[in-house]
């Protein structure tokens, strides 16, 4: 099973790609993907019930997506 950190890395990748994307529809889809990855990461962290979970890399946790 992938780790929450891996999922947050996917969030960062989607956001970086969206920032470079010129087509609004493609940008919106990438931001939707970033949100889905972030939601999965947060669910995984919650399921592990780890109060000392590491913060998301580069502040992606709580980042407004779209």
Q: How far apart are CA 60 and CA 9, in angstroms?
A: 9
pTM (two decimals): 0.73
Output phi, psi for 12, to 5 deg: -60, -40
Sign of CA dihedral 44, 46, 49, 51: positive
The structural domains of the chain, with segments of one domain joined by +, span: 4-49
1-56, pLDDT tens digit by residue?
789 999 999 999 999 999 999 999 999 999 999 999 999 999 999 998 655 555 55
């Amino acid at each position: 099973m992938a780790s929450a950190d891996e999922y947050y890395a996917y969030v960062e990748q989607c956001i970086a790609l969206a920032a470079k994307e010129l087509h609004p529809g493609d940008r919106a889809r990438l931001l939707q993907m970033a949100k889905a990855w972030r939601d999965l990461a947060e669910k995984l962290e919650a399921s592990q019930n780890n109060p000392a979970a590491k913060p998301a890399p580069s502040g992606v946790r709580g980042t407004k997506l779209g």
